[in-house]
Amino acid sequence: MTEARGRFSGKIVLFVIIGIIILIAAIVISFHNRLVRADEGINEQWAQVQTQYQRRADLIPNLVETVRGFASHEESLLKEITAMRGQYGQAGTPADYEKVDADFTRAINVVVEAYPELRSNENFLALQAELAGTENRIAVARRDFNTAVASYNRLVRTFPGNIFAAMFGFETREMFSAAPNADTVPTIQF
Report the pLDDT averaged over residues 158-163.
Answer: 93
Domain at 11, CATH number: 1.10.287
Whether residue 147 lies inside any domain: the answer is yes
In a domain, 11, yes or no: yes
Total of domains in the chain = 1
Query: Confidence band (pLDDT; 50, 70, 90) for 13?
Result: very high
Helix axes of 2-86 and 120-157: crossing angle, nearest 10 degrees? 160
- Model confidence over 101-151: pLDDT tens digits? 667 666 666 655 555 555 556 766 777 788 788 888 888 999 999 999 999
pTM confidence score = 0.64
Residue at 176 is within a domain: no
Residue 187 falls inside a structural domain: no
**Is 65 a member of any domain?**
yes
Per-residue pLDDT tens digits for 38-53? 999 999 999 998 888 8
Q: Is residue 119 part of a domain?
A: yes
Asked if the structure places residue 173 within a domain, the reply is no
Taking 80 as the threshold, does the pLDDT of residue 172 lie above it?
yes
Q: How many CA atoms lie within 13 A of 142 on its CB side?
A: 12
Residue 177 counted as domain residue: no
Domain limits for position 107:
2-168
